Structure 1
Amino acid sequence: MNGVFLLLALALCLLALAFVLIPLLREPRDAMGPSRREGVLAVHRDRLAELDQDLAAGSLTKERHARALADLERELLDSGVLETGPDTGGERRGTRRLVQVAALASMALLPFLAVGTYLSVGYSDEVFAARAPAGQTLPAQPQAEPSDEEMTREFTRLVEGLQVRLAQNPEDLQSWVLLGRTLTYLDEFEAAGRAFGEALRHGGDRDPEVLVRYADVLAELEGGLAGEPAALIEQALAIDPDHPQGLWLAGTLAYQQEAVDEARAYWGRLLAILPAESPEAEVIRGNLAELTLR
């Protein structure tokens, strides 16, 4: 009986390994074409904009915003969208060969190791020792909210991963942008400014989102929107006159310079493109109402 059982167990192990390992042995197809990559990046930018709007409107705390940002950036890194360097294909093929060798070795050795373990250890009644009594379920362990230190470590790991990626492919615009955003939320504004500066040198000067982000970081470093931040905002709005963050910053700059008519024009355009019932629209309506009193 034991011999028949072991043969059946060996056959089931091989069958299970086949389902897992055969896909690893196949050559992958390039599923991330240019159009799909652009689509994924567009969705990522939209989700980032929504998070920023919620933070600005006060409907999202800074801690929750930071956690959501970390999740989005990790998803983007894991998606493979940023792996566009010329050498990554060869590296992936070399890595895949190692995986295939390991897969074949696992397929050959694991069933015999399992049988050997069964023969040496055998069946143990202790398996049932930790089970809950009949009719009861083990209580679920509550998931604690990550602390500020844990979030900082998460963002630091993201920064390190992006730096490694950029060392291999310094032409990667999206990685520079992602690095700049991550450093911004770590309050490392000087490093964030350098990252956004590199992004501009690698094509970001044609992207209003990158221009506006860079302007925001420079404003933190220089203590205001006047000067180079203002020029970047103007450049962003020349590309996209209805860019929400660009309109917001342009209106804020005009307000700081007591150019009431300009501030009213920028914020009025912003209000027209925001959803009427959104918290952001409510904030803009309050700002416009304050302008009428001046």
Structure 2
Amino acid sequence: MSMPARANPQPALRVPWGERLRKVASGRVLEVTSRGFPWLAMLAWCLLCVAAARPQQLGPAVAPPQVGRDMMLAVDLSASMGEEDMELGGRLVDRLTAAKAVLADFLDRRVGDRIGLVVFGDRAFALTPLTLDRDSVRQQLDASVVGLAGRATALGDAIALSTKRLQQQRTEQRVLIVLTDGVNTAGVLEPAKAAQIARDTGVRIHAIAFGGEGGGALSVFGLQLPTGGDEVDEAGLQRIAKLTGGRFFRARDTEALAGIYAEIDALEPVQRQGQAVRPRIERYPWPLGLALALGVLALLLRRRG
């Protein structure tokens, strides 16, 4: 004979969310829903997604000022630049080696300048365009050797080529520094004609006559004897500098050359406008802050429910 099942007053299933189930059964969740908690949470979540997308706004265009010059360096690589009549670090070196050492120090100090390099011999060649990368200019200068562009001196062509490179720049920024140790013996243009073109274009030329008094030196039993190289055309370089509003310098040794470039380095920099930029303004703090506020409000409504 079967016995009737005993009534068990204890619940058959225990769950940690039993209280919530009783609220669902009693309809209290609908009351919480009517108070707006779920849609506040969803709105807060949407705002968090917007903030995570990192919204940005472009600000007004700004052209920051830049201090510097646009400067071309024209360096003579003719055969006479191989004359060993310069002293550097207690030893006798050729003129080009001395010029490289001085120019390297000059480049180190010209932070903010755009510098280009032209070398000339039988013809003139542009090794680097106007650039802020002074290391590239230094590397090209270090790689230059006597006779690379020929053994003659095309001074006029070097001035013309440098002028062409500078003609796209503003008038007050066009500066050319020419270093040579001889006279114009090659090329298409005469230096005077090239200087007139430079003047009309607004290029100011600083001319440096470099080298000893008429050639290099030959060491015989410890005595330095002149070899009778070409004289420097000081008068012609003076006319070029004066015509274009620049200055003429005479350097007979490495120390004098360093002083000349230090003097040129002391020229007042030219203020020019940099490339216009539009700064990015971050806007994510607004949706992030609103999402946090709605999240707090939703939690408060939940506790009340």
TM-score bin (small chain): under 0.3
TM-score by length of 1: 0.25
TM-score by length of 2: 0.25
Higher relative helix content: 1
**Greater relative contact order (CA < 8 Å, ≥ 6 in sequence):** 2
Higher relative strand content: 2
State which structure, 1 or 2, has the greater radius of gyration over its C-alpha atoms.
2
